[in-house]
Chain A
């Protein structure tokens, strides 16, 4: 059974699917910058694998968004021909890589959140979303294993590595709040069982994070008041730079096939 019955629900679901897709794409774009520049060749390969998974997720989700929207937009139309103010990714995904430690903290937080979210999405009343989630969740489970493994090594490594990831964690933590600030759209979809309740996802995220921070000898920062809302297209300064680069060639040749 497909949960989409009314045009209003289809619109809401399209927006939600684009949030997921944009987060995957933007994170893939960031992570792929490590290829050729990682701390070891094996780490270049690891980051490349995660990027490829994320791109694959983005493409599936864009294809679905295009179907829901019914206006004939393709994955590349969504990725290359929307403006910064159209992108709905979680803000954290667009933040710069920083050093490897900062990348790992960002990755680990996003992985644990997305792991919980996608696991719960496999129960969605929307069959397509549930199927996409079932495929993605296998990938994200591996990503979380990779990033949390590294977070523990760096947190409980040398004084320098501990200091670096501790600083990154404090820097990145404020961007977590957005994920758990439920808005009307999420609420409406949750009521129909299309998406999980934000509270349930938050509980799962915290439960996954706590033992990893403990093993990494890191302290969970306290919450801050300010909230970013990338999911409502209120972005940091970094996204427009990222998109300028990502979209430059495609936009320079309107209508070209590649």
Chain B
């Protein structure tokens, strides 16, 4: 996967602050809590220049039909993710630990409250 590298425009100077201007506003990931009692769920992303703008854009873009009661936005660049090539090492070792699941245990029918 190629990382999305924002292209950089020429150096511009604003007042005393010199900086490079990326062409896109930063990418943020959006998470919506659909109703109280549920987790925030990832719904997509958006672009915004700052955090306040990101949360407003999330509201305008992802909750036009009352899809949520709470919003999180996180800069995409700040997310640390496991790598697909690590998936086997990360997740397969749990596969044979079948004794962790309640269905592993055969309990006589007479024991009703277990």
Query: Is there a direct interface between A and B, measured as CB atoms under 8 Å apart in the complex?
Result: yes
Cβ A45 vs Cβ B15 within 8 A: no
Cβ A146 vs Cβ B47 within 8 A: no
A191 lies within 8 A of chain B by Cβ: no
Q: Which residue of B lies closest to A153 (CB)?
A: B49
B95: which A residues are within 8 A, CB to CB? none
B25 lies within 8 A of chain A by Cβ: yes
Cβ B60 vs Cβ A40 within 8 A: no
Question: Which has the most chain A C-beta neighbours within 10 Å: B25, B50, B60, B64?
Answer: B60
Cβ A45 vs Cβ B60 within 8 A: yes
Q: How far is the CB of B92 from chain A (nearest CB, A)?
A: 41
Q: How far is the CB of A26 from chain B (nearest CB, A)?
A: 22
Q: A40-B25, A45-B61, A149-B52 are in contact. Are A159 and B46 (CB under 8 A)?
A: no
Cβ B53 vs Cβ A149 within 8 A: yes
Q: How far is the CB of B104 from chain A (nearest CB, A)?
A: 50
In angstroms, Cα B19 to Cα A158, docked, is 12
B67 lies within 8 A of chain A by Cβ: no
Q: How far is the CB of A161 from chain B (nearest CB, A)?
A: 10
In angstroms, Cα B12 to Cα A159, docked, is 11
Interface residues of A, dominant DSSP: helix
Q: Which residue of B lies closest to A158 (CB)?
A: B14
Cβ B56 vs Cβ A146 within 8 A: yes
A145: which B residues are within 8 A, CB to CB? 56
Cβ A42 vs Cβ B46 within 8 A: yes
Cβ B57 vs Cβ A46 within 8 A: yes
Cβ A49 vs Cβ B47 within 8 A: no
- Chain B positions 43-65 with a Cβ under 8 Å from a chain A Cβ: 46-50, 52-53, 56-57, 59-61, 64
Cβ B49 vs Cβ A42 within 8 A: no
Interface size range on A against B? 10 to 19
Cβ A46 vs Cβ B60 within 8 A: yes
B64: which A residues are within 8 A, CB to CB? 45, 49
Cβ A40 vs Cβ B56 within 8 A: no
B57: which A residues are within 8 A, CB to CB? 42, 45-46
B56: which A residues are within 8 A, CB to CB? 46, 145-146, 149
In angstroms, Cα B48 to Cα A145, docked, is 16
In angstroms, Cα B15 to Cα A87, docked, is 45
A153: which B residues are within 8 A, CB to CB? 49-50, 53
User: Contact partner of A159 among B14, B48, B59, B61, CB < 8 A?
Assistant: B14
- Chain B positions 30-82 with a Cβ under 8 Å from a chain A Cβ: 46-50, 52-53, 56-57, 59-61, 64
In angstroms, Cα B53 to Cα A197, docked, is 35
In angstroms, Cα B13 to Cα A159, docked, is 10
Contact with B along A162-190 (1 / 0, CB 8 A): 00000000000000000000000000000
A142: which B residues are within 8 A, CB to CB? 59
- Chain A positions 140-158 with a Cβ under 8 Å from a chain B Cβ: 142, 145-146, 149, 153, 157-158
Q: Which residue of A lies closest to B50 (CB)?
A: A153
5 further A-B contacts with Cβ under 8 Å, apart from A45-B60, A46-B60, are: A42-B53, A49-B64, A146-B56, A158-B14, A159-B15
5 residue pairs of the A-B complex, CB under 8 angstroms, read: A40-B25, A42-B48, A149-B52, A149-B56, A159-B15
Which 7 pairs between the two chains have the least Cβ-Cβ distance? A42-B57, A45-B60, A46-B60, A158-B14, A49-B60, A149-B52, A45-B61
